């Protein structure tokens, strides 16, 4: 995360520069707290802040400890998603003697990432933070699941097409039969990501369209 972005997020949280002790200045002249100032702020709340460099991922990892000694890590400075693949294929063939064409399309696509976004009320967050939420917000959106680790079912879809050419002298007619989602798969495409205890988390919002057929005709003369 670049310094400019960090300063932007800091000011968006409602941070004030009334006390500039232990602060520095960014390229645009805006004041931001240094490491010692941040550590002092944690200590004033009875917490111990530790920051260490993670060379492997070229980032910094921060965590703070409660007075009981329990560590609360600030994770995901480097997010490595699960390895996912997708397969798409198309094939077509025309039977010469009877002028019948056959085609098929296959799609095997990864599912959507599963999230559990909980709107943490200020009444719950304040005792943990030792202060109200920034900007006097009523709640804070928090994803309870680790990012890029949980996904919904994969989408498997097969579409078929059969066409027949009819010839009448110099004229020609082509009749085509299309069958979409031939296996009638009903994989969930999107679902509700908002989590509430005893709520409707992961209630499907959309599923793969049901199997349907279409017949078309084309006249060439």
Can you spell out the DSSP letters for 34-89? -HHHHHHHHHHTT-EEEEEEETTTTEEEEEEE-TT--EEEE--SS--PPP---EEE
Q: Is 80 exceeded by the pLDDT of residue 18? A: no
Predicted pLDDT at 55: 63
In this structure, the answer to whether residues 157 and 96 fall within a common structural domain is yes
Tally of domains in the chain = 2
User: What's the length of the chain?
Assistant: 221
Check whether 152 has a pLDDT greater than 80: yes
Residues 191 and 96 in one domain: yes
Decide which of 179 and 168 is more confident: 179
* Model pLDDT, residue 71: 55
What is the percent of the chain with per-residue pLDDT over 70, rounded to a whole number? 76
CA distance 43 to 31: 21
Residue 18's domain comprises 3-80
Which tops the pLDDT comparison, 45 or 127? 127
Check whether residue 28 and residue 54 sit in a common domain: yes
Task: Assess whether 99 and 70 both reside in one domain.
Answer: no
Same domain, 15 and 54: yes
Q: In the prediction, which pLDDT does 1 show?
A: 47
- Please tell me the distance from the alpha carbon of residue 147 to that of residue 76, in angstroms, as a whole number: 8
């Amino acid at each position: 995360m670049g310094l400019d972005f960090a300063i932007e997020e800091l000011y968006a949280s409602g941070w004030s520069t009334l006390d500039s002790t232990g602060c520095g200045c960014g390229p645009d002249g805006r004041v931001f707290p240094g490491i010692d100032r941040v550590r002092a702020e944690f200590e004033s709340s009875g917490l111990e802040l530790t920051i260490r460099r993670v060379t492997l991922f070229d980032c910094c990892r921060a965590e703070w400890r409660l007075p009981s000694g329990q560590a609360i890590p600030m994770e995901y400075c480097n997010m490595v998603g699960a390895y996912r693949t997708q397969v798409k294929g198309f094939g077509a063939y025309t039977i010469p003697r009877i002028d019948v064409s056959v085609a098929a399309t296959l799609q095997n696509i990864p599912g959507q990432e599963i999230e559990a976004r909980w709107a943490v009320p200020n009444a719950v967050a304040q005792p943990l933070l030792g202060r109200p939420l920034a900007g006097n917000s009523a709640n804070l959106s928090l994803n309870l699941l680790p990012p890029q680790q949980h996904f919904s079912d994969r989408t498997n879809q097969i579409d078929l097409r059969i066409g027949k050419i009819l010839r009448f002298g110099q004229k020609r007619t082509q009749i085509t039969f299309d069958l979409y989602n031939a296996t009638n798969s009903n994989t969930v495409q999107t679902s509700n990501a908002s989590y509430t205890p005893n709520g409707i988390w992961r209630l499907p919002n959309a599923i793969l369209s049901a199997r349907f057929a279409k017949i078309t005709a084309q006249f060439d003369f």
